[in-house]
Structure 1
Amino acid sequence: DLTGQKMIMDKYTRIQGDYVAIVKNPSELIPPIFMINDLGSCLEWNEAMQKITGMKREDAIDKLLIGEVFTLHDYGCRVKDHATLTKLSILMNTVISGQDPGKLLFGFFDTDGKYVESLLTASKRTNVEGKITGALCFLHVASPELQHALQVQKMSEQAATNSFKELTYIRQELRNPLNGMQFTHILLEPSELTEEQRRLVASNVLCQDQLKRILHDTDLESIEQ
């Protein structure tokens, strides 16, 4: 059916045109995008990818995505370790084999050595006959404002962790003398004491109560005050 084939071709042409329009669009609203063929070679590397990686389009096109573009070496965009490349390879192979779009938390160093954290989304690309020809990939990177907020959050969490460690240390240091005071009180309780000695024992009990309250207080600031 020539009419049916023409409709399919027209639809495919429109889709391909949409791909090209998106990839070539210089708008800052367009996320970092790259495409690979079924052999893993880079076919597209849009302007946003150039900005975020520092790698020019002509240096990425026709290069193997894994090993030449993203690499463990000093050229291209270096990743932290072999495991990162392995996860990227698994994602690309999974998508190109026809499975559902996949996502990966993916980090790399740009050409200036700055570490970039992103969420990589990959989906299959097909030709007019429906044959898988590669993968279309997007990088989702947090804005500078969000990155700053996340950094502040990490610092706050680290400060909270440090405070908890300090509190644990204080509790441990207080527990030993408190146990000694309680043991001394137990020894003195059945003894015949003078009035002055009883006042000292009573003061000792008050001190024990104060230390117990500190031990059970989870608010480090109130202890510091």
Structure 2
Amino acid sequence: MHNDYLSELFSDADIPMFMLDTSGVITHWNAAIAKLLDVDSSDFTGIPIDTALHSIKNISIREPINVSTLLRLELSELNLLHKGESARPEKLKITCHAGPDEQHILCIGHHITQQEEFSQPQKNLQKQYQEFIKTTSAPVFVIDEQGTIIEWNAAMEDATGHKESSAQTKNLIDHFTRGNETIRLRKILDQAAQGIFMPFFDLVLLTKSGKNVRLKANVYPRYNLQSESTDIVCISQQQAVQKSESLKAIQTDKLATLGEMATSVAHELNQPLNVIRMAAGNTLKRMDKLPMEANYLRDKLKRISEQTERAATIINHMRMFGRNADEAPAPIQPKLAIHGALGLIGEQLRLAEINVLVETIDTPLWVKGHQIQLEQVLINLLTNARDAINSNTTGEKRILIKLDATDDHARITLEDNGGGIDTIAIDRLFEPFFTTKEMGLGTGLGLSVSYGIIQEMGGSIDATNVNKSACFTILLPLLLIT
């Protein structure tokens, strides 16, 4: 929980609450949850949720905890049995909600058999929640199951230009969406009304001036003490803010990649420098033998010039790769991005004795984006393939890159013979900070950043296992260039 507006809500809440990060580790634990579970107020921060609950003697877990399922919000609650001093065991329930920062899960605990004990804390939490909606800098609104707006905070006023007084009692879908967005949002809200959490989807609303405002939204139902859905809450973030954070992640990943490639690039630069040194040295020796032959001198100077250009090309490519992509997306050729990526990491692959095969079609393919960012995606995939091959392959080491086209997409596939991807990990590959590598060998950002780049280009990226080989497929919408 890194957002200030949630920190205050959490620390002041009388209702039992704790937070999990994306790895299932408890990041925050308040005194009320300790009281509910009848344990001392010792802090469980930093302990995995399953370890923490299994360590409490008076608590039995009614079904196994599947942390990965819980984190994907496929399981919305944990049911526990409290074996305290009471005459009969008490049922406890912990409900889980997606955090608005996309990095945490909020867990709230309460009795089922003795809910009346928590009526006042529930009221206090409701009051704090309403205060949070009013004061947070995140755009937040609340609607009923028919889509009628109940609450509309100041940040929503800033984002849309619609004042709360004019927005309240209006139907969100009828008055703030149009076209395909109306149909799409109606489906999302119908699912939320059925108790299905809808995290991290794109929400497009009409502003007062008639323009579109894009938000990244989390929608989930809110319940009363009888576990009845009362309304739907939407906590969102403007795309411009999210875009800024995405660009920071992209730049962080690029700089990490540059650092990893330093040895390879140094080797690449040494080759033209050695040629220049030898050409200059031979020329100096020849100068002692007069007269100097013009053709000999011309040949050596031409070689020096060519190698200088080669070194400059390597340096300029590194400089371009490392800078921010501030310009607007433009038509680019995936084929050039493939060659550019191999120009930066190819020496590493050669030193690792990995044979890289490239198969491309002759027809030029055009897509919209940033070539440097597409190179970054390919370098991330090539780096992961290299690491997998080095760890798991004893015979021939091979990477195959193909570029072809479907009816309306350019398709890039990258396949390696590094043993494939663990079936447990394959569904989480593109999550931020998730890595299958040993501690210190991976940031867990590469594939997450790659996913964001491809999505920003309007495309898709997915991973599969093919004959014990990992295969990544990138699809990018084709542009018609005349």
Q: TM-score range by the shorter chain?
A: 0.5 to 0.7
Q: 1:17-48 CA distances to partner (integer Å, 9 max, x unpaired)?
A: 121111121x5xx2000001122211000000
Supply the distance in 1 between the matched residues of 2:182 and 2:326 (Cα, whole angstroms): 26
Conserved in 2, the CA contact under 8 Å of 1:37 and 1:134? Answer: yes
The letter of the residue matching 2:142 is: M
Conserved in 2, the CA contact under 8 Å of 1:24 and 1:46? Answer: yes
Q: 1:114-143 CA distances to partner (integer Å, 9 max, x unpaired)?
A: 432221110111122110011100121133
Would you say 1:43 and 2:150 are equivalent positions? yes
CA change 1:154–1:106 in 2 (3 A) is farther
Conserved in 2, the CA contact under 8 Å of 1:101 and 1:124? Answer: no
Conserved in 2, the CA contact under 8 Å of 1:32 and 1:139? Answer: yes
* Partner residue in 2 for 1:96: 193
Work out which of the residue numbers 2, 11, 15 in structure 1 matches 2:125: 15
Supply the distance in 1 between the matched residues of 2:328 and 2:154 (Cα, whole angstroms): 35
CA change 1:35–1:160 in 2 (3 A) is same
Largest Rg, 1 or 2 = 1
Shift of 1:155: 4.2
CA change 1:159–1:137 in 2 (3 A) is same
Supply the distance in 1 between the matched residues of 2:182 and 2:164 (Cα, whole angstroms): 21
Conserved in 2, the CA contact under 8 Å of 1:95 and 1:123? Answer: yes
TM-score (normalizing by structure 1):
0.57
Conserved in 2, the CA contact under 8 Å of 1:126 and 1:134? Answer: yes
Please state whether the residue corresponding to 1:11 is helix, strand or coil.
helix
Moved over 6 A (4+): none
The letter of the residue matching 1:10 is: Q
Supply the distance in 2 between the matched residues of 1:114 and 1:102 (Cα, whole angstroms): 24
Higher strand share: 2
87-96 or 10-19: bigger deviation:
10-19
CA change 1:153–1:13 in 2 (3 A) is same
Structure 2 matches for 1:1-225, cutoff 5 A? 4-25=114-135, 30-68=137-175, 70-72=176-178, 81=179, 83-141=180-238, 142-143=240-241, 146=244, 153=325, 155=327, 157-158=329-330, 160-161=332-333
CA change 1:156–1:41 in 2 (3 A) is closer
Conserved in 2, the CA contact under 8 Å of 1:40 and 1:65? Answer: yes
Shift of 1:144: 9.2
Supply the distance in 1 between the matched residues of 2:220 and 2:243 (Cα, whole angstroms): 28
Supply the distance in 2 between the matched residues of 1:109 and 1:155 (Cα, whole angstroms): 27
CA RMSD of aligned residues (A): 3.3
The letter of the residue matching 1:137 is: C
Higher helix share: 1
Conserved in 1, the CA contact under 8 Å of 2:142 and 2:151? Answer: yes
TM-score (normalizing by structure 2):
0.28
Unmatched runs of 5 consecutive residues or more in structure 2? 1-112, 249-323, 337-362, 366-482
Supply the distance in 1 between the matched residues of 2:235 and 2:145 (Cα, whole angstroms): 17
Q: Relative contact order, CA 8 A, sep 6+: which one is greater?
A: 1
CA change 1:127–1:119 in 2 (3 A) is same
